[in-house]
Chain A
Amino acid sequence: MTVHVRFFASLRERLDIGDQDVAVTAGVTVADIWRQVLGEREMPSNILAAVNMEYVPFTAPVQDGDEVAFFPPVTGG
């Protein structure tokens, strides 16, 4: 199965990484997606994650066709 992975703001620049489609096996979590895309690069402790544009914990399961996003703390307003 395939998921679309996105990175935003300072995280995207620091990792120097763009949006990408990633082939994954069934039963993976958000944290597994990070490891698959970034290998051993440690996830910053303040990073937030969303699946299909809803906040999720890193233990959340991921389904075929999902959009998984990683981003730093928000600074709007």
Chain B
Amino acid sequence: MLVEILEQPFDPWRRLQAYQDTQLAPGQFGATAAFVGTMRDFNAGDNVRGMQLEHYPGMTEKYLEQISQAAAARWELLDSMILHRVGALAPNDPIVLVAVWSAHRKDAFEASRWLMEELKSRAPFWKKEQLTEGERWVEGNTDGY
């Protein structure tokens, strides 16, 4: 299980492959489900040229570890990883990677979806968008279902 807050840009696919190669037992996992969230250059009808992502150091990691453990208790998982950016982001930068490994797809799909929705609704992160003119805090996340 890995939870990591990143202050610099990252490549989710390289990180996922590297983690799988070093942490997962070959032949054991039959299903890998991954979600990658990427920064858009538009929101609510406006052009967005950058974003500042704030978190609550300590609580954010603790919360992500708690939901990782809860997912492992609820589904048959072999491993999971959550990586999330903070700091200054530009459009097209990856924001988040949630990946889970399981023997079968049902547990992998369901656990990754649940983890992502828990992260979106409760993990302490806050986005501030830089627009063409001025900046604004994002008020809330859209419903994922």
Contact = CB atoms under 8 A, between A and B. Distances in A.
Interface of A: 6, 8-10, 13, 50, 53-55, 69, 71-77
B141 A8 contact: no
Contact of A53 (B62, B122, B137): B62
B126 interface: yes
A68 to B, nearest CB: 12
B71 interface: no
B99 interface: no
B126 A77 contact: no
A10 B137 contact: yes
A74 B121 contact: yes
B124 interface: yes
B127 A76 contact: yes
A69 B37 CA distance: 27
B53 A76 contact: yes
Task: Tell which of B54, B55, B123 has the most Cβ of chain A within 10 Å.
Answer: B54
B140 A75 contact: yes
A69 B123 CA distance: 14
A75 B63 CA distance: 14
A71 B124 contact: yes
Contacts of A8: 54, 56, 124, 126
A13 B139 CA distance: 14
